[in-house]
Structure 1
């Protein structure tokens, strides 16, 4: 077969390297994966690398390419994910990726998602002998139980295990996830972690005017939940915890519940919690103000790969009530910088929330220590680690990579 000679996006006169990031979700979409990919992409650009961002086109966008300031954005066709109307699978795009990577070859590829787009990117990169690493951002294997897809659990896990074991390494968000995936047979796991923007999420954004719109006086206690309102988020426990704690309130202070986010479970949750404040999804300054204007963060989810909202709440100076997993396990010391319940011990979770509402001094101390801990989790160190993993992968690039057989 004839050889196709490629050129790299990085020339001898340009600093840095060229990396391709392939993902099914990206800002302005609102979720932890999109937020993380946005931080990683911007971080690489700030370090003078060039980035090819491959993602599905949003509903108001057309497939195509744009290039500016070191970023080549390649939008491919997608289709909505059932139950997640705002998110899309990227459709297989092998021909487009082959043309792109044969003309502008990246030094390494990062696959953030395992859907059809990620699968086709893995296939093309391996054929072109481009080094590939992957990230495990979503616990799809745990979601099957919540969406009554138990029969798909084993096939899904086999696919995920196969997919990630085809890459040089798989980056994970937390030590608990690293242990779980190792047990399930995923190899070459590396801890990446997550950062938090402690300037954006800061106690100084507390607003009494915002609290008053929630019906909360200065001396009242506001419990906050932030996240997607969907069955896999264990929202039944959120409702049960609120009902029990508010019914047994002995703190002498009026309690309020504010829920930030949207999703398929919102209507059901509103029926069960008619007195709660539902704000819908928030971003930017309104989200930062919502965090800082609350007092206690209630997070019952057991399906997180990390849970960015936990560290955002800590940075905002909130006392977090969560299970001992993912970000909470990694960054909270029980009764010191938050409260932790053993995984799936719902009674302990509710008791911890009760304690946070009643112990004023304990809650004040926790909020101070939570902020202090969060300020140690800057994104720059995460981006530096991510860059190092990409450069290590690029170093394994075959010596004859400039000549790629055509197909």
Structure 2
């Protein structure tokens, strides 16, 4: 089968009104696909009865979605099925596809095994190994699993994941812009910014504990916010920001500090760069995939996060913006479409194949 699907079902346990990188990525993808005339339906927790996630009570998970979700999928009659997450909705959609002998794709957005291991009172290595075994089985039922970076593809393949393919991310360069840069009231420059979820896996204390000049600004919310505010009263915590307020925070900072060692991509880094703000991070997958080869022009990677933060102060803010403009959602969405498989290909006893084998032109590759 050639050409792209006209009806795409995306199953995600992360969806509005949640605010995180997975939701922003899927939201941009859906908008781009719909602009091409493709009918897309996202089946998220907002359509079901929910209960709070054990580790993140602000995140709601669908409660026993099986029969209702299966009915919705039958009525929608998708040409392609993509399962984005491994939660209750993802499990239910996977079960339906296997019973119906339908082909589907998945994506690996979150290092769930590491996050679980950080919260349970069991040996970390054992917990990660057990959870990765389950995650590998989940994705192994699909025809392909999409990963955001070359290093993540290599890592997952090394862990025994089969049919791992590349799906990069983009950034909304119209919404995130340097034009909103202004003086930040009450904050002494240089302003070092972190934006994202406030949770243990984000390693935020590695940033807040640094001896840095100027001010530290923290944008976002999460289960660790209250504890971090108590321990680091000199930092300013704004809570969750969105739209113009978020863009203004990015653009008005002098350096964006990304302390995570576990993120699979780090969309917030691209958002900061699109606002002209250089990035300081550890040289780990995610930051290394994005910034490797272009530092020190747009930021700095170093195992000493203070060295990285101070070095990033000298980066060229115009170069940061130009670099971010290379990551288009148009190119990322084309890559996603190329990875999809016809839903009925497995049921008809054919080997699942993508809708198109066309490669992105060099100029469109993010």
Q: How would you bin the TM-score normalised by the shorter chain?
A: 0.7 to 0.9
Choose from 337, 341, 362 the match for 1:387. Answer: 337
Q: Does 1:165 align with 2:140?
A: yes
Distance 2:74 2:5 in 1: 20
Q: Does 1:230 align with 2:230?
A: no
Distance 2:130 2:290 in 1: 33
In 2 relative to 1, CA 274–368 (structure 1 residues): closer, same or farther, beyond 3 Å? Answer: same
CA contact (8 A) 1:234 1:301 kept: yes
Report SS of the residue matched to 1:245.
Answer: coil
In 2 relative to 1, CA 324–108 (structure 1 residues): closer, same or farther, beyond 3 Å? Answer: same
**RMSD of equivalent CA atoms:** 2.0
Report SS of the residue matched to 1:84.
Answer: coil
CA contact (8 A) 1:221 1:294 kept: yes
Match of 2:212 in 1: 245
Distance 2:172 2:239 in 1: 22
1:331-381 CA distances to partner (integer Å, 9 max, x unpaired)?
21232221012xxx3xx2222223345xxxx33x2x222211100101111
Higher gyration radius (CA)? 1
Question: 4+ residue stretches of structure 1 with deviation over 6 A?
Answer: none
CA contact (8 A) 1:106 1:130 kept: no
CA contact (8 A) 2:51 2:63 kept: yes
- Once the two structures are superposed, the pairs formed by residues 7-406 of structure 1 within 5 Å of their partners are 17-57=6-46, 75-149=47-121, 150=124, 152-208=127-183, 211-212=184-185, 214-216=186-188, 220-241=189-210, 244-246=211-213, 255-332=214-291, 333-341=294-302, 345=303, 348-357=304-313, 362-363=314-315, 365=316, 367-390=317-340, 392-394=341-343, 396=345, 398-399=347-348
Match of 2:353 in 1: none
Distance 2:162 2:120 in 1: 28
Distance 1:334 1:223 in 2: 18
Match of 1:9 in 2: none
Q: CA shift at 1:120, angstroms?
A: 1.3
Task: List alignment gaps of at least 5 residues for structure 2.
Answer: 351-366
Distance 1:185 1:399 in 2: 27
Report SS of the residue matched to 2:209.
Answer: helix
The two structures have a TM-score, normalised by structure 1, of 0.79
Q: CA shift at 1:133, angstroms?
A: 0.2
Distance 2:49 2:142 in 1: 24
Task: List alignment gaps of at least 5 residues for structure 1.
Answer: 1-14, 58-74, 247-254, 402-407
Report SS of the residue matched to 1:161.
Answer: helix
CA contact (8 A) 2:207 2:305 kept: no
1:55-93 CA distances to partner (integer Å, 9 max, x unpaired)?
113xxxxxxxxxxxxxxxxx1232211131221222343
1:257-308 CA distances to partner (integer Å, 9 max, x unpaired)?
1110111211222122212111101011100011001111111101101111
Q: CA shift at 1:179, angstroms?
A: 1.5
Task: Say which structure is richer in strand.
Answer: 1
Distance 1:139 1:227 in 2: 16
CA contact (8 A) 2:166 2:335 kept: no
CA contact (8 A) 1:76 1:93 kept: yes
Q: CA shift at 1:99, angstroms?
A: 2.5
Q: CA shift at 1:145, angstroms?
A: 3.4
